[in-house]
Amino acid sequence: MWQRIQTLYLLLSTVLVGLLFFLNKAVVPAADGIAQEITYTVYTPYLILLIIISLLHLIALTTFRVRVLQMRTAMFAALVTLGLQAWLAVDYFTADPGVVFRVSVLFPLAAIVLDVLAARSILADQLMVESVGRLRSRRKNGR
């Protein structure tokens, strides 16, 4: 399980999304000089999306024996993460000029790339297993 590159991609993606539970999204400067920090978990739709994405990543990490399910789960996680990233982009472009966004806003983008790389590696493994299966069946039948 851990010796496959797709597992490492999925693990890194899971860690990046998991960090969003603890990091700040933005800082809003106040008039009295005290900055207000906005986290991802304050806004309920972000929290729900983060929980869904984390669960999808955990499913993709644990279903390494069923490659097709693992690949589809990784791609679905990438799509849901793309939705989160689009929502964060809308928040960025519609925010007030004084709001300072943190680097953690780009973590979903990195997670999307890692999920797609994992899905490609899983697909390559599945195609290799199928081709070896065809070779074995030909040898077994005497061809």
DSSP string, 46-74: HHHHHHHHHHHHHHHHH-TTSHHHHHHHH
Greatest distance between any 2 Cα atoms in the chain: 84
**pLDDT tens, 107-133?**
999 999 999 999 999 999 888 888 877
72 pLDDT tier (thresholds 50, 70, 90): very high
Please state, rounded to an integer, the average pLDDT across all residues of the chain. 90
pTM of the model: 0.87
pLDDT at res. 140: 66
Task: Give the pLDDT of residue 32.
Answer: 80
In the chain, what percentage of residues exceed pLDDT 90? 72
Q: pLDDT-based confidence at 139, cuts 50/70/90?
A: low
Residue 56 — pLDDT band, cuts 50, 70, 90?
very high
Ordered strands of the 100-101 beta sheet: 36-39, 24-28, 100-101
Q: 67 CB contacts (<8 Å, ≥6 apart)?
A: 122, 125, 126, 129
